[in-house]
Amino acid sequence: MDQFIATISTFPTAIWTVILGVVLVYWLASLLGMVDDWHVGQHTELDMPGHGDGGDWAAKLMALGLGGVPFSLVLSIYALSGWLFSALVQQYFLWLPNLLHYLLGAGLFLVCGALAIPCTALVLRPLRGLFVTHTATSKLALVGRACKISTMSVDEHFGRAEVAANGAPLNIRVCAASPNTLVKGSPAVILDYDPALDVYAVAALEDG
Amino acid sequence: MTPVLFSIAIFGFFILCAFLLFVKFYNKVEQGKAMIVNTLRSEPEVIFTGRMVYPIIHKKEMMDISLKTIVIKRSGNAGLICNDNIRADIEVTFFVHVNKTAEDVLRVAQTVGCERASSPEILEELFAAKFAEALKTVGKSMNFEDLYLARDKFRDEIIRQIGDNLSGYVLEDAAIDYLEQTPLDRLDPNNILDAQGIRKITELTAIQHVTTNELQRNEQMQIKKKDVETTETILELQRQQAEAEARQLREITSVQAREKAESDRVTSEEHAKAELARIQAEQQIAVQQENMQREKEVAENNRKRAVAIEEEKVTRARQLEIVDREREVALQEIEKEKAVEIEKKAIADVVRERIVVDRTVAEQEEAIKELRTVAEADRTRQAIVIGAQAQAEEKLVLQVKAAEADERSAKHKAVQELTLADAMLKVAEKDSEAKKREAEGVEAMNAAEGLAAARVMLVQADAKEKDGLAHARVKIADADAIAKLGSAEAESLRLKLEAEAIGKEKLGLADVQVKAADADAVIRQGDATAHALAKRGEAEASVIQARFAAESQGLNDKFAAMQAMSDETRAHEEFRMRLDYAHIETMRSIEANVNIASEQADVLGQALSKAKIDIVGGEGDYFGKFVNSLAIGKAIDGTIGKSDTLQLALKDHLAGERDLITDAKGLLGSLGQSADELQSLSAAALLHKIGSEGTPEAKAALRNLLQTLGQNKG
């Protein structure tokens, strides 16, 4: 036990120990907060970088296999694995003289940091399913899909159609070049979307 | 190892925390609702399923995106003015909803607000004006009746009017719920549009009214006409009905009268029949009653007669019973007397029996006395008889013995001489044979001469012998006659005395005399028999003497013939005889050995069959003995095989037809039985029996027995 304490409080592992300590404190705090039912503003929360926020950061995390879960969890596992490797290896360096010890320690720190990334990815893989979210479809995604005209006629300015979704159909505003065969109930295909007017350009779908 | 344990603990803690986070912060969205989450990004997320929502850094809002209805009512003087200036009371329901797209939901959220979007009242506030305006516009463009007919056009027009100015909402449908022309009294005649409307309505309605009135009058007229026709028809029908009813009534009455007459007739007939039947019945009843009366009287008389008879019977029975009783009484009295007499007789019997008993006692006493005297006399008689018998037997035995001794000596002598003669005869035979072989003719002739002489001698001897035998037979016959005479005499005397004894049987002493006489007779008889035997023995002896004399004569001749033999032939003969004797001797010794050996073998065989053989004795004793015994067995077999006598003797046993052991058993058993029989005979009784009532054969047997006893003593 004494040896263990000595190990985690000397040079390379001490850094991991500090990081791990911070993470543990964060989790304890969040636990307390959970018990308190999260009355907003009652206690401070660590400000974390965005959870899978768009941009470079998230992309890099995804590339490393660390995406899809809260960043707090990623950091926690990373800190834990780095600390574990460092502590395990450092037990055998304690007898070394100072200079050599520091040199080896620096090397060990870097190696552990590198080794902890794939380990963390491995651990997080099964947890990723818990944190999947399905966001709503955007209007642009309807382009190319078939629809059914719901007005008597369609012209350049007026017309509505229904796009079949899983549940309730989407009621969209459509327009088409004026002499057309579109009547109520006729199938059409969505060709284009104009976000400014919120209108879709449709064309009659040939039979087939 | 410690860091690993620590890290495991910490990892577990993290996982626990992550699960708690998930449980706590995962928000699920109901159908018909959308969740808008403000993350740290520029645009909020719209979710229809579920998402982790972290407090502080996220803001969650729920919005109802389900179908909403907005109802627009216009009635009275605010009614909808149509294209033909007719006001209509209308109630239109508009259906609005939010498309399930992120843009639409966000637009609604930003323009209306999530909270407000969920409440229909606020939506109505928001859109009522727009819808009302669109409704007016559309209404003014369509005729009143077209509103009913062209629903699709109406809806399209409304949508076209409203356009997309519903801040994210979409107009799904517009349905006319209630549509009526506004009543005339609600219209304002001073209003231009209303006035036009009134005029049009009046025009239309007047025309309609006239037409209506005409139609109504026509209707009335037709109704009236129909009524009159109906009445006529009904009256006609009533008349017909009445007529039919009258006719029906008439027919019914006629039929009824007819039926009544018929029924009356039938009734009277039936009545007559009934009366007739009744009268007949009464008559029969009267007759039956008379009969009954008669029968009753007859029965009564019968009853009386029967009663009288019964009474007579009763009296007779009673009297009979009385007579019976008296007779019974008398009989019982007689019976009683008889019983008394019987008892008296029994008493007399008892007395008599006692007397008889006394008498028998006396008789028995007398008998005892008599028996004593008789027994005593018997004893004396028997003593005397036995004494006499003993004397007679003694004499007899002495004589017999003397005769036998003589006979035996004579026999032995005869045998001796016979054997000598045999031997000599054989010598002579051999000699003669030798002589025959040496010298054929002369010697044969000499021998023939000798032989002829011998034969003559033999014939002479035979004749003499026969002569002697005849003589002996004559003497034997004489002796027999004498014996028979004696016995007859004795028998007659005995019978006579017995007859006398029977006459004097009541006297005890007579028996004694008879017995004494008996004894005398026996003694005489014994004497006679002894005499006869002596005579016979003498005769036999003389016969034997004669025979032996003849034989000795023959032998003398033979020896004389043998004298003529040469020394060599005698020596040869003697040698041959010696050889024969030696041969016999060796054979006997062999036989004795064989018997010994066979017995030993039997013993050994039994011992071997019963014993467990323990091969002991290291010097081969046992084996040697065993082999010896086997050799003995072989010797026995050989002997039996080679000896003709034994083969003959044991032929059946060898062939397996008889069993040696059972034969031996039979032999022994028969011996035992005969011994038993001998034992069972009492000597005294035998003697007495044979002495008193023995046949001659029995007496001869007794003699033989006594002889054997004598021999055993000797």
pLDDT value at position A41? Answer: 31
pLDDT value at position A125? Answer: 86
User: How many Å apart are CA B108 and CA B196, to the nearest integer?
Assistant: 44
State the count of interchain CB pairs (< 8 A) between A and B. Answer: 130
On whether the CB atoms of residues A143 and A168 are closer than 8 A, the answer is no
The burial class, CB within 10 Å (0-12 / 13-18 / 19+), for B505 is exposed
Instruction: Find which of A75-84, B233-242, B426-435 is predicted with most confidence, using mean pLDDT.
Output: B233-242
Per-chain mean pLDDT for chain A: 80
Question: Which of B103, B152, B166, B173 is the best mutation test for A, with the most CBs of A within 10 A?
Answer: B103
* Buried residues in B432-458 as b, exposed as e (16+ CB within 10 A): bebbeeeeeeebeeebeebeeebeebb
Min distance B140 CA to chain A CA atoms (Å): 20
Per-chain mean pLDDT for chain B: 84
Query: Residue B56: closest CA among chain A residues belongs to which residue?
Result: A40
User: How many Å apart are CA A79 and CA A82, to the nearest integer?
Assistant: 5
pLDDT greater at residue B589 or residue B274 = B274
What pLDDT digit, counting tens, does each position of B120-151 carry?
889 889 888 889 999 999 999 999 888 888 88
DSSP state of A177: -
Candidate from A126-135, B114-123, B161-170 with smallest mean pLDDT: A126-135
pLDDT greater at residue A165 or residue B607 = A165
- Contacts with B437 (C-beta within 8 Å, 6 or more apart), sequence order: none
Please give the share of chain A, as a percent, with pLDDT higher than 70.
86
User: How many Å apart are CA A42 and CA A34, to the nearest integer?
Assistant: 11
pLDDT greater at residue B304 or residue A136 = B304
What pLDDT digit, counting tens, does each position of A6-20 carry?
888 888 888 989 999
State the pLDDT confidence band at B285, using cuts at 50, 70 and 90: very high
On whether the CB atoms of residues A151 and B159 are closer than 8 A, the answer is yes
Cβ-defined contact of A70 to B104 (cutoff 8 Å): no
Question: What's the Cα-to-Cα distance from B187 to each of B147, B172, B338, rounded to whole Å?
Answer: 20, 34, 165
Average pLDDT over every residue of A141-166: 89
pLDDT greater at residue B616 or residue B286 = B286
Instruction: Find which of B3-12, B307-316, B626-635 is predicted with most confidence, using mean pLDDT.
Output: B307-316
What pLDDT digit, counting tens, does each position of B492-504 carry?
888 887 777 676 6
pLDDT exceeds 90 at position B211: yes
pLDDT value at position A46? Answer: 33
Average pLDDT over every residue of B73-83: 88
pLDDT exceeds 50 at position A48: no
pLDDT greater at residue A107 or residue B666 = A107
pLDDT value at position A36? Answer: 46
pTM given for the model: 0.42
Min distance A141 CA to chain B CA atoms (Å): 10
Backbone region of residue B167 per phi and psi (left: phi > 0; alpha: psi in -120 to 50; beta: other values): left
Q: Give contacts of A91 with chain B, Cβ < 8 Å.
A: 3
What pLDDT digit, counting tens, does each position of B227-255 carry?
999 999 999 999 999 999 999 999 999 99
pLDDT value at position A45? Answer: 32
Cβ-defined contact of A45 to B21 (cutoff 8 Å): no
pLDDT value at position B622? Answer: 62
User: How many Å apart are CA B544 and CA B528, to the nearest integer?
Assistant: 24
Cβ-defined contact of A88 to B31 (cutoff 8 Å): no
Nearest to B46 among A81, A135, A158 (CB): A135
Q: How many CA atoms lie within 13 A of B655 on its CB side?
A: 8
Cβ-defined contact of A152 to B7 (cutoff 8 Å): no
Q: Give contacts of A134 with chain B, Cβ < 8 Å.
A: 47-49
Q: Provide the token pair at B650.
A: 């044991």
Query: Residue B28: closest CA among chain A residues belongs to which residue?
Result: A133
Nearest to B3 among A40, A76, A84 (CB): A84
Q: Give contacts of A198 with chain B, Cβ < 8 Å.
A: 103, 164
Closest CA to B699 of B515, B495, B514, B525: B525
On whether the CB atoms of residues B110 and B38 are closer than 8 A, the answer is no
Nearest to A34 among B7, B24, B34 (CB): B24
On whether the CB atoms of residues B92 and B72 are closer than 8 A, the answer is yes
Q: Give contacts of A151 with chain B, Cβ < 8 Å.
A: 156, 159
Min distance B205 CA to chain A CA atoms (Å): 34
Question: What's the Cα-to-Cα distance from B437 to each of B432, B443, B612, rounded to whole Å?
Answer: 9, 9, 68
pLDDT value at position A42? Answer: 28
Q: Give contacts of A51 with chain B, Cβ < 8 Å.
A: 39-40, 54
pLDDT exceeds 80 at position B460: yes
What pLDDT digit, counting tens, does each position of A172-197 carry?
999 998 888 889 899 999 999 998 88
Please give the share of chain B, as a percent, with pLDDT higher than 90.
33
Query: Residue B47: closest CA among chain A residues belongs to which residue?
Result: A135
Q: Give contacts of B94 with chain A, Cβ < 8 Å.
A: none
Average pLDDT over every residue of A128-148: 83
Question: Which of A1, A27, A86, A182 is the best mutation test for B, with the most CBs of B within 10 A?
Answer: A27
Residues 132-191 of B with CB under 8 A from A: 152-153, 156, 159-160, 164, 170, 172
Average pLDDT over every residue of B269-277: 95
Q: Give contacts of A70 with chain B, Cβ < 8 Å.
A: 18, 21, 52, 54
Min distance A109 CA to chain B CA atoms (Å): 16
pLDDT exceeds 50 at position A39: no
DSSP E strand boundaries for B120-251: 169-181
Cβ-defined contact of A135 to B102 (cutoff 8 Å): yes
* Residue B34, SS3 per DSSP: strand
Average pLDDT over every residue of B430-454: 79
What pLDDT digit, counting tens, does each position of B288-315 carry?
999 999 999 999 999 999 999 999 999 9
User: How many Å apart are CA B621 and CA B625, to the nearest integer?
Assistant: 6
Please give the share of chain B, as a percent, with pLDDT higher than 70.
87
* Buried residues in B161-175 as b, exposed as e (16+ CB within 10 A): bbeeebebbbbbebe
pLDDT value at position A50? Answer: 42
What pLDDT digit, counting tens, does each position of B564-586 carry?
666 777 788 788 888 888 889 88
pLDDT exceeds 80 at position B102: yes
Q: Give contacts of B104 with chain A, Cβ < 8 Å.
A: 139
Average pLDDT over every residue of B629-638: 73
State the pLDDT confidence band at B619, using cuts at 50, 70 and 90: low
